[in-house]
A and B are shown apart, each in its own frame.
Chain A
């Protein structure tokens, strides 16, 4: 056996953080990853199948629970598909409220991710800081929807709750606060020397690969793909807004497609969301918030229709797509969900290749906060048949040690 015999490193599948737990297998030589493979599917709950025996209003509750981080994403995409089939016109005010909630979700999700990324780099102070800042937007979400996660605010044909006067005040206060904080967040995440040295040039995804692998959302934009559903195919209130997809050039540097660029895109998207919410709040039209208040009537309308449609929404992690087909029955006859991470996970093998073991946590997290893949890692010495189990802590420790080395 030569010294350079490759090791197989299985990561996961106990995976406490994400909707799509995966099992990754890395082949490493020394510290360097030479190839990576993954198998998702451990938390398959058969949601689409369950949906086929429920009516659209019941499914809305189910869609909210596909993913807890993107509470509004799936229900919005699903509702839009059903509305297209049944020809339901959503009132303007509901469209604006949907937009406001969707953007709050983006802020919440990006802050969550930023905190996790900082944690993966061993920068726990920043992790706690971002999560403390995040609590404020959680309060606003709770004020508007009545719950911190799983909002259940979307209804076929509108939204379930109006934005009350007290909320408007709280929203404005929160936005003002965030505007003041943005400069600090930018400085902490983008100018810090450690973050710079740990993230620049790491986990590079080229423009060509990003296109070839059909990546979506911030992952694609960080590689220079100018694609954003909110701009390309406007829906809800996005058509009334003047939006531009955020690419790393906003920070005045070239597109590298590395981990650092993914941070840049997400941080600037927080600022963009703040602007969107402000604009929506100022121009919030008056009027009803539902196409029809009586659930029985909504269901009757859904039952009468037939046809198929695709509902899409630009989630915090990229495009989320729901395909629905109805055929004059209570339940849809087909329902297919494609979550945004599904498109992005496929680039892991690509961007993990050539990376160092200590960089795995941050590269894995840079696509999606999928940190807990690193829960337990077993390094198998193929030649000798020995197995060494790495716990998540050991991996994280390796990451921390690298940070310390770089500080010197």
Chain B
């Protein structure tokens, strides 16, 4: 894969927990630590959606979080990519029969990259980010034409 011109070394990720069990959230932090160290490629977590290129969502989206998810999504600058991490964010997983779910995530905002697993390994999450970079590259390519 060749690197994009606009996003190489600077893919910033905003992490949003929409009611997950935490398992995926710990793995996301674990994938930032020295063993994997994606920061050497410029991939890092940021504290504000306004700085982010990728919205990383975990959890099955509880009713209380729907509005917040939509607002955060709206706050991100274009072009943006939504990546969901974990089975419960994709389908509800073990929580699918709950009365308090508005999700899964793709019912609420459009999703570009899915990382399945409960919880996925850090390698899988990083693979997801790489897929997101590839998508940005395509977006960038079509924008040029």
Name the contact of B62 in the complex, choosing from A18, A44, A372 (C-beta under 8 A): A44
Q: What is the bound-complex CA distance between A71 and B119, given in angstroms? A: 11
Nearest A residue to B98, CB-CB: A46
Name the contact of B25 in the complex, choosing from A42, A68, A375 (C-beta under 8 A): A68
Contact in complex: A67, B68 (CB < 8 Å):
no
CB of A210 to closest CB in B, whole Å: 25
CB of A120 to closest CB in B, whole Å: 13
CB of B30 to closest CB in A, whole Å: 7
* B111 proximal to A (CB < 8 A): no
Q: What is the bound-complex CA distance between A17 and B59, given in angstroms? A: 11
CB of A125 to closest CB in B, whole Å: 10
* Size range of the chain B interface in the assembly: 35 or more
Chain B residues within 8 Å of A372, by CB: 17
Across the A-B interface, give the 10 residue pairs with the lowest CB-CB distance, nearest first.
Answer: A68-B23, A68-B22, A43-B19, A16-B17, A131-B33, A149-B23, A65-B21, A46-B98, A132-B34, A392-B47
CB of A352 to closest CB in B, whole Å: 21
* B145 proximal to A (CB < 8 A): no
Chain B residues within 8 Å of A393, by CB: 47-48
Q: What is the bound-complex CA distance between A287 and B12, given in angstroms? A: 52
Chain A residues within 8 Å of B100, by CB: 44-46
Q: Which of A47-55, A190-198, A245-253 contacts B (4 or more CB under 8 A)?
A: A47-55
Name the contact of B119 in the complex, choosing from A42, A132, A148 (C-beta under 8 A): A148
Pick from B26, B68, B72 the residue with the most CB of A within 10 Å.
B26
* A231 proximal to B (CB < 8 A): no
Chain A residues within 8 Å of B7, by CB: none
Q: What is the bound-complex CA distance between A46 and B93, given in angstroms? A: 14
Contact in complex: B34, A131 (CB < 8 Å):
yes
Q: Mark B1-39, 1 if CB is under 8 A from A, else 0.
A: 000000000000001111111111111011001110000
Given the contacts A16-B25, A68-B25, A131-B29, A46 and B99 also touching, CB distance less than 8 Å: yes
Contact in complex: B26, A112 (CB < 8 Å):
yes
Chain A residues within 8 Å of B59, by CB: 43
SS class, residues of chain A in contact with chain B:
loop
* B143 proximal to A (CB < 8 A): no
Q: Mark B86-107, 1 if CB is under 8 A from A, else 0.
A: 0010000111011111000000
Nearest B residue to A127, CB-CB: B33
Name the contact of A15 in the complex, choosing from B17, B98, B118 (C-beta under 8 A): B17
CB of A7 to closest CB in B, whole Å: 22
Chain A residues within 8 Å of B134, by CB: none
Name the contact of A45 in the complex, choosing from B25, B47, B62, B121 (C-beta under 8 A): B62
Contact in complex: A42, B30 (CB < 8 Å):
no
Q: A67-B21, A69-B22, A135-B30 are in contact. List 20 more A-B contacts (CB 8 A).
A: A13-B64, A18-B22, A42-B62, A43-B62, A45-B19, A45-B62, A45-B95, A45-B98, A45-B101, A65-B23, A68-B20, A68-B21, A68-B25, A68-B119, A71-B23, A147-B119, A149-B119, A150-B118, A392-B47, A396-B47
* A311 proximal to B (CB < 8 A): no
Contact in complex: A45, B22 (CB < 8 Å):
no
* A41 proximal to B (CB < 8 A): yes
* A85 proximal to B (CB < 8 A): no
Contact in complex: A69, B29 (CB < 8 Å):
no
Q: B interface vs A, CB < 8 Å?
A: 15-27, 29-30, 33-35, 47-48, 58-60, 62, 64-65, 68, 72, 88, 93-95, 97-101, 118-119, 121
Contact in complex: A21, B24 (CB < 8 Å):
no
Q: What is the bound-complex CA distance between A138 and B119, given in angstroms? A: 13
Name the contact of A41 in the complex, choosing from B27, B35, B64 (C-beta under 8 A): B64
Chain A residues within 8 Å of B64, by CB: 13, 41-44
Contact in complex: A65, B94 (CB < 8 Å):
yes
Contact in complex: B22, A49 (CB < 8 Å):
no
Contact in complex: B48, A14 (CB < 8 Å):
no
Q: What is the bound-complex CA distance between A43 and B100, given in angstroms? A: 9
* A61 proximal to B (CB < 8 A): yes
Contact in complex: A50, B97 (CB < 8 Å):
yes
Given the contacts A65-B88, A132-B33, A393-B48, A43 and B101 also touching, CB distance less than 8 Å: no
Contact in complex: B34, A43 (CB < 8 Å):
no
Q: What is the bound-complex CA distance between A392 and B65, given in angstroms? A: 19
Nearest A residue to B22, CB-CB: A68
Nearest B residue to A147, CB-CB: B119
A-B contact pairs, 19 of them (CB 8 A): A14-B16, A21-B17, A41-B64, A43-B20, A43-B59, A45-B98, A46-B99, A47-B95, A49-B98, A50-B95, A53-B97, A65-B95, A66-B21, A68-B21, A68-B23, A134-B33, A150-B21, A150-B119, A396-B47
Chain B residues within 8 Å of A90, by CB: none
Q: What is the bound-complex CA distance between A325 and B66, given in angstroms? A: 34
* A182 proximal to B (CB < 8 A): no
* A128 proximal to B (CB < 8 A): yes
* A62 proximal to B (CB < 8 A): yes
Contact in complex: B94, A62 (CB < 8 Å):
yes
Nearest B residue to A393, CB-CB: B47
